[in-house]
Structure 1
């Protein structure tokens, strides 16, 4: 799949992750125009998730993260949300260092929105981990007894109650 220039601009603004050549790239950090024979060709400058380096990639080789169907048992979404929050926190620190109150306030709003996304990512991650354990149990041919199921339900209710008390 490829993207067009308008989508590239949107990705630059939203800082959504992309896939290039099967590898996750953290976010688009710029759009660079290169002169080719009789034409100007846009290329994306992207931050690499794994090596924290910048790469230049063609628009025709980019896949949107939501278009790539992946199972997320390793917490990739949680890590992406954490990285986005780290970036915003750095921006807040810079705003405070240069005494820009409006920039710090805007960063605060953005980090709170990212915290909500992080909460969702962590919940999704733990649900997938639980599903994975259930599937492993089923594959191993072990049936859960009614007592084990009620114990698991009680543990889950207790964790939810503790979470709600902590979040208040």
Structure 2
């Protein structure tokens, strides 16, 4: 696949991307566990068909020590025994928050209650923001047809503003 448009090679899109990465840094530094953050990013990216983000986040998770078994089962997390109850709650919220058009009520009260059971207010705030942010990233990359496969773990570490 060939990209329609390079977001990094366009001055405006790159400027926006740096600010977008800055927002991501706020979530990265939140009390939401890193493993949950990566699982959420992977699952939303799978649902949205964003190969670039799926590639990026599975490679970053692997670099952070995530196992191949868990990464291979993210798409089938409901049938897998390798995820904690908290991770399952985050994955359910991610799916419902990503598939808003598929459910007229958005995130169900039951799913919200499960997330509330496992995450404090700061973690929930980060989780909600992360679901919104990864969905935005997925959409931009899908629209631009950013190809997957060439990402190397951590290659955008210097892209985000420091501090």
RCO greater where, 1 or 2, for CA within 8 Å and sep 6 or more? 2
Q: What's the TM-score once normalised by structure 1's chain length?
A: 0.23
More strand by share: 1
Normalized per residue, the structure richer in helix is 2
What's the TM-score once normalised by structure 2's chain length?
0.24
Query: Larger radius of gyration, structure 1 or 2?
Result: 1
